[in-house]
Every structure is written in C-alpha cells, then in structure tokens.
Structure 1
Amino acid sequence: MSDESGFGGAPEGFAVESATPDDRIDVLRVLDAAMLETDAETVDAAIDVGDALVARFDRTGAVVGALVATRPEPSRLHVDAVAVRRSRRGRGIGSALVAAAVRRAERDAAVDAVTAAFDRSLEAFYTDLGFDLDRDGDERDGDDQRKTDRLRGRRSF
C-alpha cells in the first residue's frame, strides 16, 4: 500500500491511499456513521478523479477513515468530508487524511489552496494542520444569533 499521508505519515499500523471504486461502499459507511451529509454522486466523482482518500488498517485492509474532496473551482481543492470510525479516533488518522489531501494539492500546479468548512469544535484540528481561519463565519444576524456554527479554513500555497 502506498502511504500518501505526509506530515510524518499515517499512524503506525495504518496507510492512507487513494480510494478505488471498490472502496465506495466503505467510504459511504464511514461518512454515514459520522453523520456527514455527502451524497453518493459526490463520492463517486471524487473517487473517479483521485480526490477521495481512505485510511486502511494494515492488518485487515479495512477502511477505517475516509476523506472526500471536491473542486469548486480549478484552483481550489475543498475538503467536503473527512471521518474516522469511532473506535479508531484519536490516533491521528483524520490528520493523516487531511495532510495527504494537502500534499496532493501542493503537487498539483493548478491548485493554489485547500479549503474546508467545519464545526467550531474542530478549529484546533485544522489550525494544527496549517489552515488559516476565515473569521467571517463569526458574523451575527440582527437577533444576535450566529449565522452559522461552522468555520471556514484555507491553506494557501
């Protein structure tokens, strides 16, 4: 298995690699278990162009994490969803998946940034991976309610 993770690689016992069409169901299951709203067409398109990654447990080959990215514009890779099976969280697998996506984007001359939208609870996760936060997500509407509980991050090259 080729390890694409970068930033020190995948945690021991795991490998990060491109998702294949055979991984489709596993990717959808991992994302669904994390209650992420990514549709099958988005997953299929990401797999087709190499913008979907999986983290595998070396011993069994089981998919324990997945990342799906989109290209909302040719110069930007957007992390649409990243999830790790609950039993495998806290081991650096999610970080390895995002780091691998960033490394791939850095090698793509057409891409000048990787972006992500994420829950506020993941702010440290993304800033530790070198993302700058877009604080416009902190705006409030007239009733002093947050417009969104999500932040946006960008890592430019």
Structure 2
Amino acid sequence: MDDTERDRAADGGDATTVREGDPDELVAVMRVFDAGLLEADAGEVRDRLAAGDCLVAETSGRVVGALALDGDYVDAVAASPSRRGRGVGTQLVRAALDRRGRLVADFDGGVRPFYEALGFDIEERNGGEGRFRGVLRDE
C-alpha cells in the first residue's frame, strides 16, 4: 500500500491532498484555525495566502487543514476537529518542510507530542513557562 492508498484508507476512501492555498479560501482557513483555538489574525492569513505562504489540506473539495508560514517560521497549523489524528497536520508540516528545508515553531506543552513525533529538535523557552521552540531540518 503506497502513501496515497494509506491516506485514502485513513480518510474513509477520500484522499487528503496538500496544496498552496488560494486567497479566496480565507474564510475556510480561518475556520480551521479558529476550530484549533489559534489566535490567527485574518489580515495576516490573507497576506500569507496572497504570497503563497499558506498551505491547505483538502479532502473531497473541502479545506480540512491549514498551515501558515512566515519565512521558515510556522505561524499556525491546525486540522479540522473531524480530521485530527489522521495525519493532516503531519502532511502539512512535511509539505512546508519540502518548500523551506527548515522549519521553526513556537508552541505550548499541549502540542509538544505532535512536534516531537515529527522529529523537531525541541528546547524550552522563557525559563520554563511551558513554552517551547522546535526546529526541523530536511535531512
């Protein structure tokens, strides 16, 4: 079974694809970020979409995940609640890494396992206040 077949099986028959987001998808992307309880600014997300720095995961024509980049910095990454735990976030991060070759992310302890599973080198920030920074390099 290849990666596409695995994705299709995990999605109940509908493959999830990752592509560059379109500025017309601002509302869909913001819904994903809002559902992930991320404090993403709509103006900044609009700018990322216009610059080609926002990736979306799509299943059956619907945006089910999004990742916004600022250079090599992951500004936000989230999957729709119905798609969490199905590899959507992983697909988005891998696609971003393919584009940038290196990614940096700041996050709290609640999502540390996600970043660890992807292979980020993680260090604690701000003297142990539960915030972390991770770096992932394409090797």
The TM-score range, normalised by the shorter chain, is 0.7 to 0.9
Q: Per-residue displacement from partner, 1:52-106 (whole Å, max 9, x unpaired)? A: 011111x3x01011111113xxxxx110111111111110001111111111102
Unaligned stretches of 5+ residues in structure 1: 1-7, 72-76, 107-112, 141-145
Aligned residue in 1 for 2:85: 90
**SS at 1:38 equivalent:** coil
Q: CA deviation at 1:138?
A: 6.3
1:62 aligns with 2:62: yes
Residue 44 (structure 1) shift: 1.3
- What RMSD, in angstroms, separates the aligned Cα atoms of the two structures? 1.8
- For residues 50 and 105 of structure 1, the distance between their equivalents in structure 2, rounded to whole angstroms, comes to 12
Give me the whole-angstrom Cα distance separating, in 2, the residues matched to 1:31 and 1:103: 22
Amino acid at match of 1:129: L
Query: Given the alignment of the two structures, is residue 133 of structure 1 paired with residue 122 of structure 2, yes or no?
Result: yes
- Structure with more of its chain in helix, by fraction: 2
User: Aligned with 2:19: secondary structure?
Assistant: strand
**Displacement, 1:45?**
1.6
1:1-150 → structure 2 map (5 Å cutoff): 8=3, 11-12=7-8, 13-57=15-59, 59=60, 61-71=61-71, 77-106=72-101, 113-135=102-124, 137=125, 139-140=127-128, 146=129, 149-150=130-131
**TM-score, normalized by length of structure 1?**
0.75
Q: Does the CA contact (< 8 Å) of 2:79 and 2:89 recur in 1? A: yes
Q: TM-score, normalised by structure 2?
A: 0.84
- Unaligned runs of 5+ residues in structure 2 are 9-14
Q: Aligned partners of 1:42 and 1:130: how far apart in 2?
A: 28
Deviation (angstroms), 1:154:
0.8
CA distance in 2: counterparts of 1:134 and 1:116, whole angstroms: 11
> Aligned partners of 1:131, 1:79: CA distance in 2, in Å?
12
- Higher Cα Rg, which structure: 1
Calculate percent identity across the aligned residue pairs.
41
